[in-house]
Amino acid sequence: MPKDVSRPRRVAEQLQRELAELISREVKDPRVGLLTLTGVDVTPDYAHAKVYFTLLGGAEKAAGAMEGLQCAAGFLRSQVAHRMKLRITPQLHFVYDASVENGAHLSQLIDSAIAGKVAD
C-alpha cells in the first residue's frame, strides 16, 4: 500500500503554525526578535525538521537569532509534543532563509534597470 505523501506536508504546515505561535508568545529571549517562519521541511520518518526563518534585521541579526532559537529548541520541541500529539516529535534545526532579501535585491535591480531605460 503506498504511503500518503501529503501527510508529511500537513505535519510540516501544522508544525510551522504551532512554532510561529510559540515563538511569538512564549520565547522571551531578546535575541529572537520579530522573525517570520518561511517554511518547515520534515523528514519522512518525522525525526528531524528544518525550520526556515527570516527577520527584519537581515543577515546581521541572523546569527544572534539562530543562537536564541537553538537555545529554545528543547522548550519548543516539548511544547510542540504536547500540542500536536505525534508519536515522534521532530528535532528542530533552524536555518536562516535569505531568499526574501535576495528577492528584494533583484526587484530593486530590475526597477533601477527599467528606470535607466526610461531616462534614455
pLDDT digits (tens, 9 = 90+) for 56-80: 777 778 888 899 999 999 999 999 9
Range of the domain at 103: 6-119
- Give the pLDDT score at 3: 60
Residue 48's DSSP bridge partners are 91
Tally the domains of the chain.
1
Asked if residue 62 is part of any domain, the answer here is yes
93's grid cell = 534545526
> How far is 10 from 21, CA to CA, in rounded Å?
17
What number is the average pLDDT over the span 85-103?
87
Residue 47 lies in a domain: yes
Inform me whether the pLDDT recorded for 107 exceeds 90.
Answer: no
